[in-house]
Amino acid sequence: MPELPEVETVRRGLESILLGARISNVVVRNRRLRWPIPPDFEAQLVGLSLVSVERRSKYLLFRLSATEFVRAVAPRMTSQPGIAVNPLPQVVGTLLAHLGMTGSFIAHRADSLPAPRTHDHVDLHLTARDRPYVLRYNDPRRFGSMHFFEGNDAAQPLLAHLGPEPLTDALDAAYLYRETRRRTGPIKQALMDNSLVVGVGNIYANESLFRAGIHPNRAANRISLARHVRLVREVKAVLTEAIAAGGSTLRDFVNTAGERGYFQLDYFVYGRDGKPCKVCGTPLKLMRHGGRATVFCPTCQR
DNA sequence: AAATAATCCTGCGGGC
DNA sequence: TGCCCGCAGGATTATT
């Protein structure tokens, strides 16, 4: 179940393999994702080359150019405001994709492409450095989405109302404190509200609150600035550590090479209700926020 | 404006 | 063994 660290893991994998690749063909087997894949999707993509893969919230943005170019020797770091090694061609459009709950992109060498299996909805045929690949999108639950757009990100309804990225300076304690003054609901749900801050789903909300020692039920506007400082620090830390571990693999997450992540081994609370707290030994409790399981330590979290 | 509920979907695991 | 049911959950949309 991809959250920000899993999407970032996928982004890095895609860039490392497919930067500069030209899309030669697009095969859509099932258009019925979260929103239907538009009928002109395939025609819009064929012939374009991959300039970069960026991430905004849990969306992947494949920046595409009409002109082919040679991949730079050093990969361009798009997660940080980096310096392009070579001048990059002009972006003419963007493939916007979301993995939903169960989506995955796997890059196959074209000469060892398996026969399509159930839920293999989209194949992007690409050629990178004269080597043909097929980037295959699989999504059993079809909560993911995919479409192409031209123009500014801000004009995209899906991107227009997103809060700041948690791993940038746009998220700090002063911001979170200020923006929660009128929120009387549980901090857990505020953290998961994408208009406040993006990329923190159920798993990492649980983990961040535990590590910050904050009870998930505490009203957001009744948390002091000092405790917001700690919360912001832990949100950033838990996401950063999860990215370093290649994300979390519960049932089904795999990266672009089909490999699993390992951060689930470091969970303090998620999925551990009834088990002893790793810090104090108290049995962890389960409650629900908006249908989502919340696990917390009644001793460590206040 | 904020909070809550309903909705989409398939796979899996528990209970009987 | 097999069937039913609840649950998993991101994010939009609708409703209060």
Strands A131-138 and A104-109 come out as antiparallel
DSSP letter assigned to residue A198: S
Say which residues have a Cβ less than 8 Å from residue A177's Cβ, sequence separation at least 6: A223, A225, A228
Instruction: Quote the tokens at residue A167.
Output: 């791993």
- Could you tell me which residue, A76 or A259, shows the higher pLDDT? A259
Buried-exposed string A166-195: b where 16+ CB fall within 10 A, e elsewhere: bbeeebbbebbbebbeebeebbbbbbbbee
Give strand pairing partners of A292: A289
All structural domains of chain A: 4-160 (3.20.190.10), 173-296 (1.10.8.50)
- Find residues whose C-beta atom lies within 7 angstroms of strand B: A 32, 34, 101, 118-119, 140-143, 182-186, 189-190, 220, 251, 290-291
Q: Does the pLDDT of residue A252 top 50, yes or no?
A: no
pLDDT of residue A41: 96
**pLDDT (tens digit per residue) in A285-300:** 999 998 899 999 999 9
Strand B positions within 7 A of protein Cβ atoms: 1-12
pLDDT of residue A148: 96
A268: left (phi over 0), alpha (psi -120 to 50) or beta: alpha
Distances (CA, A) of A44 to A69, A85, A226, A280: 19, 28, 50, 56
Nucleotide nearest to A290 (CA to C1'): B4
Strand C positions within 7 A of protein Cβ atoms: 7-13
Buried-exposed string A39-67: b where 16+ CB fall within 10 A, e elsewhere: eebbebbeebbbbbbbbbbbbbbbbbbee
**pLDDT (tens digit per residue) in A121-180:** 999 999 988 899 999 999 999 999 999 999 999 999 999 999 999 999 999 999 999 999
Q: How far is the CA of A142 from the C1' of B9 (A)?
A: 6
**pLDDT (tens digit per residue) in A201-228:** 999 999 999 999 999 999 999 999 999 9
Q: How far is the CA of A280 from the C1' of C16 (A)?
A: 41
Nucleotide nearest to A141 (CA to C1'): B9
Question: Which residues of A carry out catalysis?
Answer: 2-3, 58, 292
pLDDT of residue A28: 97
Nucleotide nearest to A7 (CA to C1'): C10
Q: How far is the CA of A127 from the C1' of B6 (A)?
A: 43
Contact between A191 and A209 under an 8 Å Cβ cutoff? The reply is yes
Nucleotide nearest to A34 (CA to C1'): B8
